[in-house]
A and B are shown apart, each in its own frame.
Chain A
Amino acid sequence: MHQQRLVVVGNGMVGHRFVQELLALHPDLPAAGLAVTVLGEEPRPAYDRVHLSSFFSGTSADELSLVEPGFYQRPGLRLRLNARVASIERRNNTLQLADGEVLAYDKLVLATGSYPFVPPVPGRERDACHVYRTIEDLEAMQASGARSASGVVVGGGLLGLECAKALRDMGLRTHVVEFAPRLMVAQVDDGGGRILRRKIEDLGVQVHTERNTAEITDGATARHRMVFADGSWLETDMIVFSAGIRARDELARRCLLAVGPRGGVVIDDHCRSSDADIYAIGECASWNEQVFGLVAPGYDMARVAARHIGGGADAAFAGADMSTKLKLMGVDVASIGDAQGRTRGALSCVFTDEIKQIYKKLVVSADRKRLLGAVLVGDAAEYGTLLQMMLNGIALPEAPEQLILPAADGAAKAGLGVDALPDGAVLCSCNNVSKGQLCAAVADGARTIGELKSATRAGTSCGGCVPLVTQVLNAELKRQGVEVTNHLCEHFPHSRQELYHLVRVGGIRSFAELLHRHGTGRGCDICKPVAASILASCWNDFILNQDQARLQDSNDYFLGNIQKDGSYSAVPRVAAGEITPEQLIAIGRIAKKYDLYTKITGGQRIDLFGAQVHQLPLIWRELVDAGFESGHAYGKSLRTVKSCVGSTWCRYGVQDSVGMAIRLENRYKGLRSPHKIKFGVSGCTRECAEAQGKDVGVIATERGWNLYVCGNGGMKPRHAELLASDLDEATLVRMIDRFLMFYIRTADRLQRTSTWRDNLEGGLDYLKAVILEDSLGLGAELEAEMAHVVGSYACEWKKAIEDPALLRRMRTFVNSDAADDNIVFVRERGQIRPATAAEKLQCFKGIAVVAETA
């Protein structure tokens, strides 16, 4: 059979999606008669350009990859990287690579994307002048950023503002220079632009509009001086050009394919160019004289082209909706449909609040029946509703202004009502998820927004649809008769978050009082430990007093970690993993005396296993005498602050990570929280302490400390995200205080910071606003609450061994000094380990420790 040679030029987001679509249609390429070659100019396979900026907050190049390992290693498919196509010879269906190699094709797909436009300003090739498109560009920006104090972004569009945020996060004094009279000209109108500008300036980014850069020369106070056409100038250490994109249509131009008036390879509805053997998809294509600078239309083109090449003549590209919602530096901006009101006869309806800095505009059809477009700045809560009204042509209400006016009594406004939407309505346009798919996922068992997200991918990209997706979830659950409750258990009709609030506001100090005022029954093993944890987070009373002891899980009650045979392990605190020889000897001596199994933990300390209840106080008496404190390994509380050796010894370290880790561990030790908390502190960006896998990660920089949050190792690893950069120690500690207390206040039972963060509406930007900008006005309160906990710390073991009533409780038998003979150990590799059931049987037979097996 003749193999059809299919060549794809460009392994970007759309080129890769094309191959995926092709494989979905033809899983066995050779059997389908296809030999596919993909040529990519970049050194790595396709990655997620949409989330490129997250590279700056710690996402690695590998994590951005869109290509599963092994994807391109299958029969009939070949991917060549570092392979730039230099020219196409249509006469004989061949193309030539930059290194001179010639390849023949039967069908060719161009997916070459676009390139950043750099205005032809003299001096633009100077050192530390960048563009923002590839991972290599970002690496170069990072390197420049490390030796800069200020930065300018040329271009105040969507990408420019995203880039300004990246510069600001690197700790640079940041400016945006825009040629037009306002920011985001393509998406917002004058009124919206004004509010947006004020908000962005409030966040410390200086905006200069109507500035035309004429020249870049040497600066007097910084690396560069940008001279503008009006004679004014600005000095800066680095510059990033983000002045729009241009389709990469150079191959097409040179082989005389038709090119659109604004660039881009002209394509028909099947994504075919003016040559029937050549297709173009993604940002390099021009359809109906339009070039689409978003990924969703590109994905749609990939689907259409894959079908058409396989003979599916019915697949057609029909344009795309370019509505967008984004959060730029914590500012919501959304643009829907005909935002500028260009449709003939369009009417607009505007709401401006200069105090709260909110701007909203509706564009309505001449007959006042339908919504044509909208602009939202400062508050985009209505985005999902308005977008669906526009897309589905839903009739406008009598008084359309109600859609954007704040509700008079402060109560939530009636939304559009998800019931009004057809099943086909696409609610998540990033991932193309329809209402029908969401309903099906709920029917298949998704019960929480987190589950629904992972089942459908809805809301996992820009997150703009999450409020609507949540509405669908709740409506569907209700329809299925599932009661939507976040009640802790049958004893409390409240969530953990509500209970926390009730305890704190009501000044409740005991479980009895909490149960009496807000619950029913006796409580259980769900609500009791939660109550104990909340009481400890709020008031930090001794957890083993008579009221609270009975609430504690066995681990907290006996201040040890219960093992499968009912014995416990003991973990003394070794702050930051720094330990003296004397302390090591003491641990060794005690372990030997009580014949405990010793193991070094992942948190840089030593776990001592095999203690029975009655031995715990004896062991701890000796540990306390040797200067140790409880390590809280048993608690839902701060575990360890892992550190690398830092600048004291390491030739790469830039700060004293061990000293910092010790101070942090001593500050937060004993803090009770919804789940365990781990920290890491690294002395330089080599990150030997793996701080980005921790709930709180601190990484030294030349200028201070970067703070990362919500990472996790364990079952579902998650990289921590950069919350703030280059903090001094006092600010770092304040931000951690706020972060931890906000988590303790709002998380669910047993919710690690990573899942808490994934379920936080508003995501990282919201968290930044609350913690760094104090958007809820809670900062001082959270800090004071932490100060109380820190100030009232006492080592639980030190207290326990001085408390005769408690010591009486720490006995294996209330009426005997015997030990539990069901705990049996065997020696292995020089230490004890629990005997297996079979070994126990042997042991009982041989040594006859079982008294009465009559």
Chain B
Amino acid sequence: MTVMTAPAPAAAVAAPIPTAVPAASPAAGPVWQPVCAVEDIWPDTGVCALLGGRQIAVFRLADGGLHAIDNHDPNSGANVLWRGIVGDLGGEPVVASPIYKHHYRLRDGGCIENPDTPLATHAVELRDGIVWVEA
């Protein structure tokens, strides 16, 4: 959390800007990193991992499937997707953003209500009870 002490003249700066979430990964390319024990993610819920400054939402489905997508919800500008309700629409696993209820497909990050705002997805694996994510 950051608090600016000087009140900024809000009206002075008009245009909305892209959010502050860091863009693609550093030049070195993605690397596999351990995130948490699998029991730390209750079935059909998500957690958020901070990997190299990037926020990644990791979900565990009741059938054991694991998915990782960006945590940033481009439709609300908030980092909240790990806190959405997990379910399916027409059999396709999705998470619903808690802010304005946009649905994102867990498999490919596509947004059902707004195809212009897909999310990056990340490889995820379970190794000896530990969840690993490539980011």
Interface residues of A (CB under 8 A from B): 490-491, 512, 521-525, 527-529, 546, 549-555, 557-558, 562, 564-566, 595, 612-613, 808-809, 812-816, 818-828, 832, 835-844, 847, 849-854
CA A558 – CA B1 in complex, angstroms?
A: 18
In the complex, how many angstroms separate the beta carbon of A574 from the nearest chain B beta carbon?
26
Residue of B nearest to A822 (CB): B79
Question: How far is B26's CA from A613's CA once the two chains are assembled, in angstroms?
Answer: 28
A512 to B42, CA, bound (A): 14
How many angstroms from the CA of A491 to the CA of B92 in the assembled complex? 13
1-46 of chain B: CB within 8 A of chain A: 1-8, 10, 12-17, 19-23, 26-27, 34-36, 40-45
**Chain B contacts for A808, CB-based, 8 A:** 40
Contact: A837 with B16, CB < 8 Å? yes
**11 A–B contacts from the bound complex (CB under 8 Å):** A524-B88, A553-B98, A554-B85, A558-B83, A564-B77, A566-B83, A814-B35, A827-B6, A842-B4, A843-B2, A844-B20
Give the 4 A-B CB pairs with smallest separation, nearest first. Answer: A838-B13, A554-B98, A524-B87, A566-B78
> Are A813 and B49 within 8 A (Cβ)?
yes
Q: Is the CB–CB distance between B13 and A554 below 8 Å?
A: no
Kindly report which residue of chain B lies nearest to residue A832, judged by CB atoms: B3
B71 to chain A, nearest CB (A): 9
Asked if A566 and B79 make an inter-chain contact with CB atoms under 8 angstroms apart, the answer reads yes
Residue B126 lies at the interface, judged by CB distance under 8 Å to chain A: no
Residues of chain B lying within 8 A (CB to CB) of residue A816: 49-50
Contact B83 A557 (CB under 8 A): yes
Contact across chains for B16 and A814 when beta carbons are under 8 A apart: no
Q: Is the CB of B80 within 8 A of A562?
A: yes
Is A521 in contact with B1, judged by CB distance below 8 angstroms? no
Q: Which of A490, A522, A527, A612 contacts B1 (CB 8 A)?
A: A612
B64 at the interface (CB under 8 A from A): no
B78 in contact with A525 (CB, 8 Å): no
Apart from the given pairs A813-B47, A826-B4, A839-B13, 6 other A-B contacts in the complex at a CB distance below 8 Å: A524-B85, A549-B42, A550-B45, A558-B83, A815-B51, A825-B3
| Residues on the B chain within 8 Å of A819, using CB | 1
Closest to B33 in A: A815
Min Cβ gap B19→A in Å is 7
Is the beta-carbon distance between A815 and B45 smaller than 8 angstroms? no
Contact status of A851 and B10, CB under 8 A, knowing A812-B48, A827-B5: no
B93 on the A face (CB < 8 A): yes
Answer yes or no: B90 CB below 8 A from chain A CBs: yes
Please, which residues of chain B bring their CB within 8 A of the CB of A852?
22, 26, 52-53
Q: Which of B6, B10, B52 is most buried by chain A, counting CB atoms within 10 A of its CB?
A: B10
Q: B96 at interface (Cβ–Cβ under 8 A)?
A: yes
Which chain A residues border B52 with CB–CB below 8 Å?
Answer: 852
Which listed residue (B8, B14, B89, B96) contacts A835, Cβ 8 A?
B8
User: B4 touching A841 by the CB < 8 A rule?
Assistant: no
User: Is B129 interfacial (CB-CB < 8 Å)?
Assistant: no
Judge whether A490 and B21 touch: CB under 8 Å: no
Interface size class of B (residues with CB under 8 A): 35 or more
- Per-position contact with A for B75-103: 1 when CB-CB < 8 Å, else 0? 01111100111111111011010110101
Contact present for B20 and A525 (CB under 8 Å): no
B123 within 8 A of A: no
Interface contact A853-B22, CB-CB below 8 Å: yes
A828–B44 CA distance with the chains assembled, in angstroms: 40
Contact indicator B5/A814 (Cβ below 8 Å): no
Q: Judging by beta carbons under 8 Å apart, are B48 and A525 in contact? A: no
CB-CB under 8 A from A839, the residues of chain B are 4, 8, 10, 13
Most buried by A among B1, B13, B14: B1
Contact A813 B83 (CB under 8 A): no
Residue among A525, A815, A844 making CB contact with B84, cutoff 8 Å:
A525
The CA-CA distance from A825 to B6 in the complex, in Å, is 11
Contact in complex: B50, A818 (CB < 8 Å): yes
B55 at the interface (CB under 8 A from A): yes
Q: Which of A823, A825, A840: most chain B CB closer than 10 A?
A: A840
Chain B residue with Cβ nearest A841: B17
Given the complex, which residues of A lie within 8 Å of B6, measured CB to CB?
Answer: 827
A522 touches B23 (CB 8 A): no
Contact B49 A841 (CB under 8 A): no
The interface residues of chain B lying within 8 Å CB-to-CB of A558 are: 83
**A525, A565, A840: which contacts B85 (Cβ < 8 A)?**
A525
Are A824 and B4 in touch, CB under 8 angstroms? Answer: yes
Contact partner, A847, options B2, B23, B42, Cβ 8 Å: B2
Q: How far is the CB of A280 from chain B (nearest CB, A)?
A: 60
Q: Within the assembled complex, what's the spacing in Å between the Cα atoms of A558 and B26? A: 33
Residues of A within 8 A of B80 (CB): 554, 562, 566
Judging by beta carbons under 8 Å apart, are B87 and A525 in contact? Answer: yes
Bound-complex Cα distance A260 to B1 (A): 85
Give B86 Cβ to nearest chain A Cβ, in Å.
Answer: 7
Q: B130 to nearest A CB, angstroms?
A: 11
Q: Tell me the complex Cα distance, A837–B94, Å.
A: 28
- A814, B40: Cβ atoms under 8 Å? yes
Bound state CA distance, A819 and B3, in angstroms? 12
Chain B residues positioned under 8 Å from A812 (CB to CB) = 48
B87 touches A825 (CB 8 A): no
Residues of the B chain whose Cβ atoms lie less than 8 Å from the Cβ of A822: 19-21, 72, 78-79
How many angstroms between the C-alpha atoms of A551 and B86 in the bound complex? 8
Does B61 interact with chain A (Cβ within 8 Å)? yes
A490–B103 Cα gap in the complex (Å)? 15
Chain B residues closer than 8 Å to A826, beta-carbon distance: 3-4, 7-8, 10
In whole angstroms, how far apart are the Cα atoms of A822 and B58 in the complex? 19
Which listed residue, B23, B45, B50, B78, touches A565 by the CB 8 Å rule? B78
B43 to chain A, nearest CB (A): 7
**Structural contact, A825 and B85, CB atoms closer than 8 A:** no
B109 CB to nearest chain A CB (Å):
18
Cα A554 to Cα B73 in complex, Å, equals 14
Indicate whether B120 reaches chain A with its CB closer than 8 angstroms. no
Whether A815 contacts B49 by the Cβ 8 Å rule is yes
Within 8 Å CB of A820, what residues of B? 1, 55, 79
B85 / chain A contacts, CB cutoff of 8 Å: 524-525, 528-529, 550-554
Contacts of A850 in B (CB 8 A): 20, 22
Task: Determine the distance from Cα of A564 to Cα of B86 in the docked complex, in whole angstroms.
Answer: 20
Contact of B86 among A522, A809, A828, A838 (CB under 8 A): A522
Give which listed residue, B3, B83, B91, contacts A521 with CB less than 8 A.
Answer: B91
Contact across chains for B62 and A522 when beta carbons are under 8 A apart: yes
A843 touches B4 (CB 8 A): yes
**Chain B residues near A836 (CB-CB < 8 A):** 8, 10, 13
Question: B88–A522 contact, CB under 8 A?
Answer: yes
Give A152 to B88 CA distance when docked, in angstroms: 64
Measured in the bound complex, the distance between the Cα atoms of B108 and A252 in whole Å is: 83
Bound-state CA distance A694–B43 (Å) is 39
Known: A822-B21, A854-B27. A524 touches B13 (CB 8 A): no
